């Protein structure tokens, strides 16, 4: 199969690409689309055969559910059955963060095929703010299931070239709308009634909607990534080993944890490249990528994260060493991805 890349820069290009993507999706094919977080591999959410193609192209295990993308709250009601006891809390989250990088895990409607939810009675739903993705949903007139457009467990793609390196020859089309603005997968939460004015918000995967933002609307309860031997996930992106380069990665807690082996070359993923942090000058690195040079800005680090990790994965080093990132704001999501990237499957 030849994979075609369609540019979507000008209004004319966007209209043409959206129309063509709509035709592909309505025929039951899959298409890689840009979102504000990462590029997604899209299929019509109501078409189980098309969704099975997503699993096949990604080599994704069928126990790992997909995220369903909707255009608005009216479309949400076609895929999710929101219990009355959490309806107010869900509405507040939607009003605050949609469209945007927040995914809600809710009881599913029967119209959503079991393959999409991995047999669970819940569905993960979000409303992207990316104009091209939203235009494609409008064109199709139905929800779109779209996990990240990469091989399962590998580095998430934040550009069309990254999608091509992962899925070339496995999918028919990629819409190229440039680099993703957030660079980190969506935050995933589940809402629970607490018996108090503010609900419990279970953080299933950290992302651009941070704990600090969520705390304004409820009591945030964090969860640990699943181990390989545990029960299947209740939402996408919960496995302990995920987002991983092919090159082994070690996440350090402090500089003294690094013990190089003779004969091996090492690449460094640095937060801000400051010698005073104790990492950048402690070894003659094969290659260095700095997420946010200088003072260190976590949003900039998040945008560059997967791009930098992919570059180091391709540099020819025997191992990648990553220094820690402050676990505040979006830094919590970066550290989460680093821990999963360094975990053994």
pLDDT in tens, the chain (345 residues): 899 999 999 999 999 999 999 999 999 999 999 999 999 999 999 999 999 999 999 999 999 999 999 999 999 999 999 999 999 999 999 999 999 999 999 999 999 999 999 999 999 999 999 999 999 999 999 999 999 999 999 999 999 999 999 999 999 999 999 999 999 999 999 999 988 889 999 999 999 999 999 999 999 999 876 665 555 788 888 877 788 899 999 999 999 999 999 999 999 999 999 999 999 999 999 999 999 999 899 999 999 999 999 999 999 999 999 999 999 999 999 999 999 999 876
Report yes or no: 145 and 69 within 8 Å, Cβ to Cβ: yes
* SS3 state at 200: strand
User: Any idea which residue has 């990528």 for tokens?
Assistant: 289
For residue 319 the two structure tokens come to 């191992």
Structural element, H or E, at residue 104: strand 102-107
What pLDDT is attached to residue 32? 98
Rounded distance between C-alpha atoms, residue 56 and residue 254, angstroms: 40
Rounded distance between C-alpha atoms, residue 54 and residue 148, angstroms: 10
* SS3 state at 308: helix
What pLDDT is attached to residue 302? 97
Query: Fold match between 4-176 and 249-342?
Result: no
What pLDDT is attached to residue 237? 80
For residue 305 the two structure tokens come to 């994260």
Q: Which of 154, 148, 345, 344 is nearest to 243 (CA)?
A: 154
* SS3 state at 174: strand
Domain ranges of the chain: 4-176, 249-342
Whole-angstrom CA distances from 281 to 181, 278, 339 are: 31, 7, 23
For residue 147 the two structure tokens come to 């996990």
Q: Would you say domain 249-342 falls under CATH 3.30.930.10? A: no
**Order of strands, sheet of 287-290, starting from the edge strand that comes earlier in the sequence:** 249-251, 319-322, 266-270, 287-290
Whole-angstrom CA distances from 290 to 315, 316, 319 are: 14, 17, 16
Q: The whole model's pTM is what?
A: 0.95
Rounded distance between C-alpha atoms, residue 188 and residue 210, angstroms: 10
Which fold, 4-176? Answer: DHBP synthase (3.90.870)
Residues near 259 by beta carbon (within 8 Å), at least 6 away in sequence: none
Pairing of strands 122-126, 67-69: parallel
């Amino acid at each position: 199969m030849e994979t075609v890349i369609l540019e979507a820069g000008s209004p004319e290009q966007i209209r043409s690409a959206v129309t063509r993507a709509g035709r592909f999706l309505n025929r039951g094919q899959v298409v890689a689309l840009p979102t504000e977080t990462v590029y997604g591999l899209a299929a019509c959410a109501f078409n189980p055969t098309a969704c099975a193609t997503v699993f096949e192209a990604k080599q994704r295990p069928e126990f790992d559910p997909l995220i369903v993308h909707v255009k608005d709250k009216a479309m949400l009601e076609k895929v999710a059955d929101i219990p009355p006891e959490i309806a107010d809390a869900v509405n507040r989250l939607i009003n605050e963060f949609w469209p945007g990088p927040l995914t809600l895990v809710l009881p599913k409607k029967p119209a959503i095929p079991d393959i999409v939810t991995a047999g669970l009675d819940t569905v993960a739903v979000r409303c992207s703010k990316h104009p091209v993705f939203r235009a494609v949903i409008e064109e199709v007139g139905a929800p779109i299931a779209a996990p990240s457009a990469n091989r399962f467990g590998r580095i998430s793609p934040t550009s069309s070239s990254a999608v091509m390196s992962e899925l070339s020859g496995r999918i028919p089309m990629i819409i190229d709308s440039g680099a993703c603005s957030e660079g980190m997968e969506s935050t995933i939460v589940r809402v629970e009634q607490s018996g108090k004015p503010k609900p419990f918000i279970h953080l299933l995967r950290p992302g651009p909607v941070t704990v600090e933002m969520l705390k304004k609307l409820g009591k945030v309860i964090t969860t640990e990534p699943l181990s390989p031997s545990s029960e299947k996930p209740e939402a996408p992106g919960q496995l302990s080993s995920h987002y991983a380069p092919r090159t082994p990665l070690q996440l350090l807690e402090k500089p003294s944890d690094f013990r190089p082996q003779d004969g091996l070359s090492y690449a460094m993923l640095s937060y801000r490249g400051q010698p005073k942090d104790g990492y950048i000058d402690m070894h003659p690195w094969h290659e260095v990528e700095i997420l946010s040079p200088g003072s260190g800005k976590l949003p900039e680090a998040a945008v560059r994260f997967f791009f930098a990790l992919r570059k180091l994965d391709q540099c020819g080093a025997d191992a990648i060493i990553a220094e820690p990132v402050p676990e505040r704001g979006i830094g919590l999501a970066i550290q989460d991805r680093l821990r999963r990237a360094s975990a053994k499957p």
